[in-house]
């Protein structure tokens, strides 16, 4: 595995961001966001993924995560991105609208640039992983994740956005169970 894709693995906590190719807003469709939610839940239940914070935006995903058990963060993210890429492509193929076909064309064009891609490239390479080693950085990233939808104009307050862990931190219902971080 090249260093471009490698994440330091172990018991560390990471802030990661993974992005749709060309910043295409395919995740603006809530049904595509639910594909990501379901995949995260699967990896939590079956692969040792611990989520401390997350936000699914229209064209990227932010998470603060850790891996416990036999699977590493690198393996989990690789498989999660591979699974969700297939699920997103299948969803678009089923939709068959002009917009869906245009997005599939863009994914196909992105895939042609790489020998290892046989059809569609949905996610950009890499995960922009940053090792969390101090609490200040952790809290800054958690705040940034939760405020991202507000800054993007998707809601007025962080906890209004249902595709984020902000509601977990005010003890409201959420789509994904997260391990809460102490805010002090």
**For 110-120, how does the pLDDT look when each residue is reduced to its tens digit (9 = 90+)?**
877 766 666 88
| 40 alpha carbon, distance to own chain's centre | 8
Supply 5's token pair.
């894709």
**With a threshold of 0.95, does the pTM exceed it?**
no
**How many C-beta atoms surround the C-beta of residue 16 within 10 A?**
19
C-alpha distances in angstroms, 107 versus 47, 70, 81? 28, 32, 14
* pLDDT at res. 116: 65
* pLDDT at res. 114: 67
pLDDT in tens, 124-166: 988 889 999 888 999 999 999 999 999 999 999 999 999 999 9
Across the chain, what does the average pLDDT equal? 90
Give the three-class secondary structure for 130: strand
User: 85-111 burial, b for 16+ CB within 10 Å, e for fewer?
Assistant: bebbbebbeeeeeeebeebbebbeebb
Q: Using CB atoms within 10 A of its CB, is residue 24 exposed (0-12), middle (13-18) or buried (19+)? A: middle
How far apart are the C-alpha atoms of 81 and 47, rounded to whole Å?
14
- Domains in the chain: boundaries: 13-170
Supply 18's token pair.
């993974």
- The answer to whether residue 2 scores a pLDDT higher than 70 is no
Q: Was domain 13-170 assigned CATH 3.30.70.1290? A: yes
Supply 155's token pair.
């809601």
């Amino acid at each position: 595995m090249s260093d471009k894709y490698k994440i330091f693995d172990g018991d560390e906590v990471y802030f990661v961001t993974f992005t749709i190719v060309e910043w295409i807003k395919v995740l603006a469709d809530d049904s595509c966001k639910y594909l990501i939610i379901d995949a995260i839940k699967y990896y939590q239940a079956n692969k040792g993924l611990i989520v401390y914070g997350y936000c699914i935006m229209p064209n990227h995903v932010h998470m603060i995560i850790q891996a416990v058990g036999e699977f590493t963060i690198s393996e989990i993210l690789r498989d999660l991105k591979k699974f969700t890429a297939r699920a997103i492509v299948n969803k678009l193929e089923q939709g068959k609208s002009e917009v869906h076909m245009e997005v599939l064309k863009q994914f196909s064009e992105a895939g042609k640039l790489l020998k290892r891609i046989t059809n569609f490239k949905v996610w950009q390479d890499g995960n922009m992983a940053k090792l969390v080693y101090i609490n200040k950085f952790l809290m800054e990233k958690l705040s940034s994740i939760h405020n991202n939808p507000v800054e993007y104009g998707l809601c007025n307050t962080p906890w209004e956005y249902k595709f984020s862990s902000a509601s977990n931190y005010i003890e409201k219902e959420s789509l994904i169970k997260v391990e809460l971080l102490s805010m002090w």
